[in-house]
């Protein structure tokens, strides 16, 4: 019987209103680590507190990493459409040419 794993891609809103995208296997612990400032070299260290805006669970780490990379390349507006699960807007923004 295959083992079920939990991997999460998550998006945080930082105190400066920027977004941080990450991947973890324990969302609760990772969020606490971001807010406690465990790593002085992390992007979120000087941007605390952070607020969880979105997460999605994956069974396979490869799928989670692929999605994390994809979302990191998205515009702010497209990430906000994801928060709202506005799939029409995500598609529209995907086809939008500057």
Q: What is the CATH number of the domain that holds 54?
A: 3.40.1440.10
Phi, psi dihedrals of residue 23, rounded to the nearest 5°:
-135, 145
Beta-strand ranges (E) seen in the chain are: 7-13, 19-24, 51-58
Dump pLDDT digits (tens) for 43-79.
Answer: 999 999 999 999 999 999 999 999 999 999 999 999 9
Q: Is this prediction's pTM over 0.95? A: no
92: in domain: no
- Identify any residues that bridge with 24 across adjacent strands, giving them in sequence order: 8
82: in domain: no
48: in domain: yes
61: in domain: yes
Dump pLDDT digits (tens) for 77-92.
Answer: 999 999 999 999 999 9
**Number of domains within the chain:** 1
Rounded to whole angstroms, the Cα distance separating 98 from 96 reads 7
Rounded to whole angstroms, the Cα distance separating 14 from 21 reads 11
Q: What is the domain extent for residue 24?
A: 7-73
> And the tokens for 3?
């083992």
């Amino acid at each position: 019987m295959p083992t079920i794993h939990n991997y999460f891609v998550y998006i945080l809103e930082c105190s400066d209103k920027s977004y941080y995208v990450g991947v973890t296997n324990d969302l609760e612990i990772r969020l606490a680590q971001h807010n406690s400032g465990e790593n002085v070299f992390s992007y979120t260290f000087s941007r605390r507190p952070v607020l969880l805006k979105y997460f999605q669970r994956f069974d396979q780490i490869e799928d989670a990493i692929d999605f994390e990379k994809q979302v990191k390349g998205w515009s702010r507006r497209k990430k906000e459409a994801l928060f709202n699960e506005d799939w029409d807007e995500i598609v529209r923004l995907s086809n939008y040419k500057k």
